[in-house]
Amino acid sequence: MEETYLLNVEGVRKKILHGGHGELPKLQDGSKITFHFQTLKDDFERTVIDDSREAGIPMEIIVGKMFKLEIWETLLSSMRAGEVAEFWCDTIHTGMYALVSRGMRRIAEGRDPLEGQKHRCGMGNMFDYHSTGYDDLDELQRTPQPLIFIMELFRVEEPSAYKRDTWAMSKEEKLAAVPVLHSEGNRLVLSKEFGQAAAKYQEAVICLRNLQAKEKPWEDGWLKLESLVTPLVLNYCQCQLELGEYYEVLEHTTELLQKHNDNAKAYFKRAKAHAAVWNEREAREDFLRVAHLDPSMAAAVKKELKQLGERMRKKHVEDQKRYRGLFQPPRGG
C-alpha cells in the first residue's frame, strides 16, 4: 500500500508504506512515543545517517523534551499504531537534526544526553562544543539539507502510564521524585535489601546532580540541592558497607569530605571502610576526627577503636604464624 500526499505543513511530504490501525494519537507534554526510524539523506544513494534498528531496541522520545525535532511530533501525530511511513522534510525542519541525533546516539550508547552541556540553548551549546563528536553530524551541521525519515509507530503512552527515566524528567518532576526514592530506599534498608536500597539512593542523587549542574557552585540554589545530596550519599555508603563494597565507600566518602570536611558521619563510614581493608592508620585517624567533630559519637568511636585493635592483634598473630611456617626448615631434612 502506497499513498503519497502533502501534510498540511510547509516543506513536508508523506508516503504511507504500510497502513496502521486505530485512532490517530493525541499527544500531550510528557507522552512517550515508541517507534523505529531511519534518517536518510535526500541523495541518489539515499545514504543512511541513523537507524534505530541497529541499536536493537525502538526509539523513545518524550513530547515536550529537548531531544527531538519539533517536526517529529507533527509527523508521528499523523500516524496510527503499526503504520510505516516515509516523510520528506525540507531544510526549514532539519537544521537542528545534528544536535538531536547527537542526543539520541548518546542515549543508545547508554550515556547521559546532557553530559557536559552548559545551561544554554541548543545552538549556544554548539558554540561551546564546536563539534557534535560525530563526523557525519558535523557535516550536517555545517550544511543543513533536506532529510528523509522512515518511521514505524508502535505506541503512544500517556505520562501516567510509564516510569520516567531521570534525564527525561522536568526540574519539578526530579525534585518530586527525590523524597519518594529516599523513602523507598529507607524501606528497603529495613528489609535488609541493601543492593536495591543503594540503587534508589543513587537514582535520587543523579536527579539532584543533574539539577546542580544548572546552578553556580556554592551559591544558594546549589547549596540547597547539596544539602539533599549529602544524606543520600551517606545512606548509599552505609548500604555499600553492608554489602562489603569497601572501596566504593572510600571513594564516595572521600569525595564528600573534599566538599564538607566537617561531616562526622562521612568520616565514620570512611573509617569503617578503612578498617575493613586493614588500613589501620587511616582508620584510627578518621575515628579520632569523628570524636573531635561530634563528641556524642565518642562512645561509638571507642567501641570501633577497641574492635579495630583486637582485629589488628589477631591479624598480627596469624601473620607471624604464617611467616614462621614459611621460613622453618622441613623436619627430617
Closest by CA position to 111, among listed 81, 144, 134: 134
b/e for 302-319, b at 16 or more Cβ within 10 A?
eebbeebeeeeeeeeeee
Q: Is the pLDDT of residue 325 over 70?
A: no
DSSP state of 202: H
pLDDT in tens, 112-150: 555 544 433 433 443 344 577 788 888 888 888 999 999
- Report the C-alpha gap between 262 and 168 in whole angstroms: 35
The answer to whether the predicted template modeling score (pTM) of the entire model surpasses 0.75 is: no
pLDDT of residue 213: 86
Q: How far apart are CA 249 and CA 257, in angstroms?
A: 12
Q: Which residue type does 222 have?
A: W
- What is the predicted pLDDT for the residue at 59? 83
CATH architecture of the domain 4-157 equals Roll (3.10)
Torsion of CA 112, 118, 123, 128, to 10 degrees: -100
Cβ atoms 52, 59 nearer than 8 A: yes
Q: Return the domain boundaries, the chain.
A: 4-157, 171-321
> How confident is the model at residue 254, as a pLDDT?
95
What's the CA gap between 150 and 297, in Å, rounded? 64
**CATH match of 171-321 with 1.25.40.10:** yes
Q: What number is the average pLDDT over the span 313-324?
A: 78
Flag whether pLDDT at 302 surpasses 80: yes
In whole angstroms, how far apart are CA 144 and each of 11, 94, 149, 295, 300? 14, 7, 15, 66, 66
Give me the mean pLDDT over the 18-41 stretch: 88
Rounded to 5°, the CA angle 282-283-287 comes to 120
- Per-residue pLDDT tens over the stretch 224-239: 999 999 999 999 999 9
Q: Which three cell numbers stand for residue 293?
A: 567533630
Tell me how far apart the alpha carbons of residues 119 and 62 are, in angstroms, rounded to a whole number: 20
